Amino acid sequence: MAESKTPLLDQLEGGKWPSFVKDIKQAAEKKPMAEDLLQQLELSYKDRIGHWKHGGIVGVKGYGSGVIGRYSDRPDLFPNVQAFHTMRVNHPTGWFYKTDALRHLCDVWDKHGSGLMNMHGSTGDAILLGTTTDHIQPCFDDLTEAGFDLGGSGSALRTPSACVGPGRCEWACIDSLDICYNVTMSFQDKIHRPMFPYKFKIKVSACPNDCVASIARADFSVIGTWKGDIRIDQGEVEAYAASGLDIQKEVCDLCPTKCMELDGKKIKIYNKDCTRCMHCINLMPKALRQGEEKGATILVGGKAPILQGALLSWVIVPFMKLEPPYEELKDLVLRIQDWWDEYGKSRERLGELIKRLGMRVFLRAVGLPAVPQMVKAPRTNPYVFFWPEDIKKEVK
């Protein structure tokens, strides 16, 4: 047997888990581009350095985002990946595809690119990896014909994303799919023509389980929630106990606010202390249902570490009713973006700007009242919310 040209990469195929190396090798049987990708990656492992250069190219005519330019810094060795641009395709909301749409997407990419795709990137888009500059426009034209559009990249509104919500899930408190689609269509200009200080992400989860992790990954997080008492079916509670669930240990003791009590065989919830974390409902879906009045909590400022450390989103509106056409929500997004656009430094995310100028300044600028739910943790100084004139009003 011939000696392998990629001994280092081969090791990554050794584990029990699926390996991207295997995938690239498979693509390499058809595409010289994928073959060169493999070899350049092997060289990177050997040299312990990335061999990609950042691009410049941004997209197709009329667009300032959606294409991410990448070039090899060793085109002498790997001519087939001299240009290896990424195309971000706006995924269908909730990632629902029909198989013919998926096939169509694959066909377009076999025609114009390396054939390698990443389903999906952390922003949500379908990521098409590796094409040349002259293929970008024709590829876009074919994608458009198949009903797809490019997503956001650079200092733009990134492709909004949402959990599958009411499409599959009984816990959905809001129509995450419709909200996400509506926001995407309303803000097309912000997605395709970057004018912000940096990226801005909107994610919608239909309940506090937060399956799109909007609290950690979005500048603007919409998370479905409810008002009113958790509805209890005591008969089903008994059935869970009979089936072997240790309700005291697994449910009550793990309630973060300790607001549940097992009274003999019946469960009691002190709803005023419930933070709507979903734990009890997740464990006993037949016995417990969310309160009847549904809406969403709006949070801002989540981000992963780049210039500064990671931040989780912060509650700014504890409860907002969300019904089409979602004007209140979109209006709030616009006010927030406009404030950030005015005061943010280049490459400063919304959460960092709020940390720098203060929540008090932010709230006044976007016209929101300070409410107790905004206090992130007790004993961090609560006074930050008050303006001198507010204090004068209080202390008569």
Smallest gap from residue 50 Cβ to another protein (A): 13
Determine the 3-state secondary structure of 394 from DSSP. Answer: helix
| CB of 232 vs ligand SF4, minimal distance in Å | 10
3-state secondary structure of 40: helix
Find the angle CA(390)-CA(394)-CA(396) to the nearest 5 degrees. Answer: 125
Residue 163 binding result from another protein, ligand SF4, ligand HEM, none, given CB thresholds of 5 to 8 Å by partner type: ligand SF4
Is residue 364 at the binding interface for another protein, with CB under 8 A as the rule?
no
Please check whether residue 211 is in contact with residue 205, taking contact to mean a CB–CB distance below 8 angstroms.
yes
Considering the complex, state which of residue 314 and residue 340 has its C-beta at the smaller distance from another protein: 340
How do the residues of the chain divide into helix, strand and coil, expressed in percent and rounded to 5? Answer: 40, 20, 40
346 scored as a contact of ligand HEM (CB under 6 A): no
Residue closer to another protein (CB basis): 192 or 203: 192
377 binds ligand HEM (CB under 6 A): no
Residue 72 backbone phi and psi in degrees, to 5: -75, 145
| 199 touches another protein (CB under 8 A) | yes
Assess 381 for contact with ligand HEM (CB under 6 A).
Answer: yes
Cα dihedral 281/285/289/290 (nearest 10)? 40
Q: Which residue's CB is nearer to another protein, number 346 or number 380?
A: 346
Closer to ligand SF4 at the Cβ: 144 or 257? Answer: 257
Q: How many CB atoms lie within 10 A of CB 225?
A: 23
Cβ atoms 311, 270 nearer than 8 A: no
CB of 197 to ligand SF4, least distance (A): 30
Q: Name every residue whose Cβ is closer than 8 Å to that of residue 179 and which is 6 or more positions away in sequence.
A: 162, 204, 222, 322, 326, 329
For residues 57 to 76, the per-residue mask of contacts with another protein, x marking binding by CB under 8 A and - elsewhere, is xxx--x-xx--xxxx---xx
Question: Dihedral sign, CA of 269, 275, 280, 282?
Answer: positive
CB 223 within 8 A of CB 216: no
**Using CB under 6 A as the criterion, which residues of the chain lie in contact with ligand SF4 when the complex forms?**
163-165, 169, 171-172, 205-207, 209-211, 255-257, 259-260, 269, 274-281
Q: Which of ligand SF4, ligand HEM, another protein, none does residue 117 bind (CB under 5 to 8 Å by kind)?
A: none
Question: Which of another protein, ligand SF4, ligand HEM, none does residue 206 bind (CB under 5 to 8 Å by kind)?
Answer: ligand SF4
Q: Which residues bind another protein (CB under 8 A)?
A: 53-59, 62, 64-65, 68-71, 75-76, 79, 82-83, 86, 133, 153-156, 193-199, 306, 341-342, 344-347
